[in-house]
Amino acid sequence: MSREQQVLDRIERIRRRKPVIREELITLAHGAGGKATQTLIEAVFLEAFRNPLLAPLDDGALLRIEDGQLAFTTDSYVVSPLFFPGGDIGDLAVNGTVNDLAMCGARPAHLSAGFILEEGFPVADLRRITDSMAAAAAAAEVTIVTGDTKVVQRGKADGCYITTAGVGLVEQPVTLSAARARPGDAVIVSGPIGEHGAAIMLARGDFDIEAPITSDTAPLHGIVSELLKALPQHVRALRDATRGGVATVLNEVARASEVAVVLREDQIPVRPEVTGVCELLGLDPLYVACEGRFVAVVDGEHAGQALETLRSHPLGADAAIVGTVADAPAGLVLLRTAFGGTRVVDVLVGDPLPRIC
């Protein structure tokens, strides 16, 4: 057995261990979308609430009703800063919830919005956030139909947190799951990656760096609907690449389907300014969050049609086929580098950019 195979086998054995949370206190890493988050979810929440609807750990749950299926999702938003180039916590909350429903193959319909406000938070800022939410909801053709508000003492929060839930109707006969990828499938990203995380990082002002980067936050249900109409039986999985970025999403697919995902570095779309910022700070754009991009795994024989469909939509003009699905090494994501080498793209323990959504 080669040394490379020994390493891969060891990684696989470690990954198959039952998740155990060893920390006594919650850290920022537990909310970053990486290994610490996965362990927290599986060892605490899934262990406590396990049921067939929750077990897939998809972007939402599919609920059967008399005439079809409803998709149901929930999310919380603690982004810092609240206002950033290209958006704010308000439209991020609406778009993020809409996108989770879209990844289930649903047409978003109704949302709820819960606000946790800190004593002393400016009413003008709250109006700015709610106006942004209203505009985003109108653009996505959804309605915010219920909500809640709580206020905590000064210093017990960070201005404003938002929790949402959303329901949508699954109108097309599709089956989407991270467990449906097959060898020969193509991996497509809907556009340049890493823009939201980079925009948030610069907006915090922690680094003396200026770059014309804005968040890519956008509702994705329109472009997803076009893709599913064009290829209703040939789209295997959809994931929006938020916390943990494209790398984490593809690791979820590789593990759930017990396949390998092989990426080509020279095919991954990243804008030069995002590449520059990531290089300066030692970050890999594959791990940097998006809020208006998604990953699609499609039947390889129909990859060209899928790409053409995405590129015909304004949000998919720069879509690209970035890799393929292989049978081995199962459960891993590999990157063929521009220099001809290969490296494993694993899930990070935490995230160098906490609180990006």
State in Å, rounded, how far the first CA of the chain is from the last one: 44
- Euclidean distance between CA atoms 254 and 263, whole angstroms: 12
Please indicate, yes or no, whether residues 225 and 156 belong to a single structural domain of this protein: no
Distance of CA 145 to the CA centre of its chain: 25
Please answer whether residues 257 and 178 qualify as being in contact, where contact means their C-beta atoms are separated by less than 8 angstroms: yes
The structural domain count of the chain equals 2
Q: What range defines the domain where residue 71 resides?
A: 24-170
- Euclidean distance between CA atoms 270 and 265, whole angstroms: 10
Give me the CATH number covering residue 46: 3.30.1330.10
Give me the CATH number covering residue 313: 3.90.650.10
The confidence score (pLDDT) of residue 322 equals 98
- Strands of 186-189's sheet in order across: 235-240, 294-298, 186-189, 320-326, 260-264, 333-336, 342-344
Crossing angle for the helix pair 195-203 and 272-281, nearest 10 degrees? 60
Residue at which a domain ends, from 103, 137, 170: 170
* Residue 62 dihedral angles phi and psi, to the nearest 5°: -100, 120
pTM of the full predicted structure? Answer: 0.93
Please indicate, yes or no, whether residues 130 and 160 belong to a single structural domain of this protein: yes
Per-residue pLDDT in tens (0 to 9) along the chain, 357 residues: 677 666 666 666 666 667 788 889 998 888 877 888 888 999 999 999 999 999 988 889 999 988 889 999 999 999 999 999 999 999 999 999 999 999 999 999 999 999 999 999 999 999 999 999 999 999 999 999 999 999 999 999 999 999 999 999 998 888 999 999 999 999 999 999 999 999 999 999 888 888 899 999 999 999 999 999 999 999 999 999 998 999 999 999 999 999 999 999 999 999 999 999 999 989 999 999 999 999 999 999 999 999 999 999 999 999 999 999 999 999 999 999 988 899 999 988 766 677 889
Query: Would 47 be classed as within a structural domain?
Result: yes
Please indicate, yes or no, whether residues 141 and 204 belong to a single structural domain of this protein: no
Query: Would 138 be classed as within a structural domain?
Result: yes
Please indicate, yes or no, whether residues 145 and 262 belong to a single structural domain of this protein: no
Query: Would 305 be classed as within a structural domain?
Result: yes
Q: Is 170 exposed, middle or buried (0-12, 13-18, 19+ CB in 10 A)?
A: buried
Please indicate, yes or no, whether residues 54 and 130 belong to a single structural domain of this protein: yes
The confidence score (pLDDT) of residue 355 equals 84
What DSSP character marks residue 313?
S
Q: Is 276 exposed, middle or buried (0-12, 13-18, 19+ CB in 10 A)?
A: middle
Query: Would 13 be classed as within a structural domain?
Result: no
One-character DSSP codes across 11-47: HHHHHTSPP----SS--GGGGSSSHHHHHHIIIIIHH
Q: Reduced to 3 states, what is the DSSP secondary structure of residue 98?
A: helix
- Euclidean distance between CA atoms 354 and 158, whole angstroms: 14
The confidence score (pLDDT) of residue 157 equals 92
Query: Would 352 be classed as within a structural domain?
Result: no
Q: Which of 141, 138, 135, 65 is nearest to 101 (CA)?
A: 141
Please indicate, yes or no, whether residues 138 and 196 belong to a single structural domain of this protein: no
Please indicate, yes or no, whether residues 126 and 208 belong to a single structural domain of this protein: no
Q: Reduced to 3 states, what is the DSSP secondary structure of residue 77?
A: strand
Q: Is 338 exposed, middle or buried (0-12, 13-18, 19+ CB in 10 A)?
A: exposed
Please indicate, yes or no, whether residues 155 and 195 belong to a single structural domain of this protein: no
Please indicate, yes or no, whether residues 162 and 187 belong to a single structural domain of this protein: no
Please answer whether residues 136 and 219 qualify as being in contact, where contact means their C-beta atoms are separated by less than 8 angstroms: yes
- Strands of 160-170's sheet in order across: 61-65, 68-77, 160-170, 107-118, 143-152
Residue at which a domain ends, from 170, 189, 222: 170
